[in-house]
Structure 1
Amino acid sequence: MMKGMKNMKRYTIDQLAQMIDHTNLKPFADQAAMESLCREAQQFHFKMVAINSVQTALCKHLLEGTDIHVGAAISFPLGQTTLETKVFETQDAIEDGADEIDYVVNLSEVKNKNYRYIEKEMETITDICREEGVISKVIFENCYLEKDEIEALARIARKVKPDFIKTSTGFGTGGATIEDVRFMKEIVGDDVKVKAAGGIRDAETFLAMIEAGAERIGTSSGVQIMASLQTKETDGVMTIE
């Protein structure tokens, strides 16, 4: 239980596990690593496994008969591919069984202030996901962005309405921060959810991100986080602000 709580919310351990995207995006992850990832996801009942799109079909097979989603990373981790390439990657991953798509925005066009392009990119990929009944997440990679650029992206997202906006890939120079999560959530309100990812390795940081407004957490440390949470809970329930 966290100190200094005012507006407290109660979560079961399973509800907290269902906020975790269990992640292995390493370029050298082999079949054994995917088998381990999917086995752990089932053990702790995580919401999703987050993987490079080439692993989509394998993970879909490994998780067959479960309610655990397969999430494919698109244009990962740089975002520096054409819209046409991102569309193909998205459609290919969905055909392979992806339940969720996490794509990286074109950061060069953000820096160019070409927000018309960014909006078109977001609309196109979000529309594909919506038509296929797949969850869409837009990765900003905040460590490379100024505050006004984060705000501009969040305002576009509030208009386009992907399911989530996401702080980071975890491969940049920095990951999720409490300040960024709060700022992003303030802008999108209840229209879009926020996912925090990058550098979230312990239970305290995990809970702090939820307190700040994140409704999904991307982490490769989900097993350790859940083990820590299970030692803190009382009667299967945790209370956080």
Structure 2
Amino acid sequence: MKRDEFAHTLEQALLRPDVDRRSVEEACAAAVRDHLGALVVLPCYVRIAAPLLAKSGVKTVSVVGFPLGATLSEVKAREARLLFDQGAEELDMVLHLPWFFSGEYDAVREDIAGVVQEARGHVVKVILETSLLDEGGIVKACQLARDAGASFVKTSTGFGAGGATEEAVALMRRTLGNRMGIKASGGIRTLDQALSLLEAGADRLGTSGAMDLLAQWDQRFRG
């Protein structure tokens, strides 16, 4: 894998509540410079990021129902439509965790399907929060996301009790085969972690430290 190929797997996340406009603008410039795959911003910053990233090859991504997934389905769908209208190219939505843990699987699937319908062909990733799920739960959540028409499943919000693990990613890949993409996210701080998650079956890596990972790449392979 070449540096640009690795960089393109990275989705830099700016989802902390203290992120300001200047930070978003600076992150856009850095993402374009380093050829990242995407920049993931809070919904309120899509209007700022989208024009700065337009035609750069770096996707503007935002979040829906973040970070708990418990938003009303009608609100999630409306949020998705507004974000796409404002320039988002992909959305990461949170699985409706309360309904999932209540066994209301039809409602969970319909919740995802409502966002997918509003996406109108754009990529929708479903965040499972795998640290809260056992193996059976991960399998079931993957199946619901697949049946609802989502394009990707994602391990974590980064706000939960744990992040991405090789074991969870490998289970997601075994469950889905090549029918969906997998985004590993949460706690990815070292190059070894990143490469291991890609080896386990991840297609993309969500991280708040993309530039640190690229610096580690350069130190290892260019040093």
**What range describes the TM-score normalised by the shorter chain of this pair?**
over 0.9
TM-score (norm 2): 0.96
Give 1:79-94 correspondences, 5 Å limit. Answer: 79-94=69-84
Alignment of 1:33 with 2:20, yes or no, is no
Q: Is the 8 A contact 2:153 2:182 kept in 1?
A: yes
Three-state SS of the structure 1 residue aligned to 2:145 is: helix
Residue 81 of structure 1, CA deviation: 0.5
Counterpart residue number, 2:180:
192
Distance in 2, matches of 1:85 and 1:146, equals 29
Residue 147 of structure 1, CA deviation: 2.1
Q: Is the 8 A contact 2:110 2:148 kept in 1?
A: no
Three-state SS of the structure 1 residue aligned to 2:67 is: coil
Question: Greater relative contact order: 1 or 2 (C-alpha under 8 angstroms, separation 6 or more)?
Answer: 1
Counterpart residue number, 2:52:
62
The runs of 5 or more residues in structure 2 that have no matched partner are none
Residue 151 of structure 1, CA deviation: 1.1
Q: Percentage identity across aligned positions?
A: 30
The runs of 5 or more residues in structure 1 that have no matched partner are 1-10, 235-241
Distance in 1, matches of 2:145 and 2:174, equals 12
Distance in 2, matches of 1:39 and 1:66, equals 10
Alignment of 1:99 with 2:92, yes or no, is no
Distance in 2, matches of 1:46 and 1:149, equals 32
Alignment of 1:110 with 2:115, yes or no, is no
Counterpart residue number, 1:174:
162
Higher Rg: 1
Q: Is the 8 A contact 1:161 1:191 kept in 2?
A: no
TM-score (norm 1): 0.89
Distance in 2, matches of 1:155 and 1:100, equals 20
Among 214, 219, 234, the alignment partner of 2:207 is 219
Distance in 2, matches of 1:25 and 1:81, equals 17
Runs of 4+ in 1 over 4 A off after TM superposition: none
Among 136, 145, 155, the alignment partner of 1:157 is 145
Residue 211 of structure 1, CA deviation: 0.4
Counterpart residue number, 2:217:
229
1:30 maps to amino acid: D
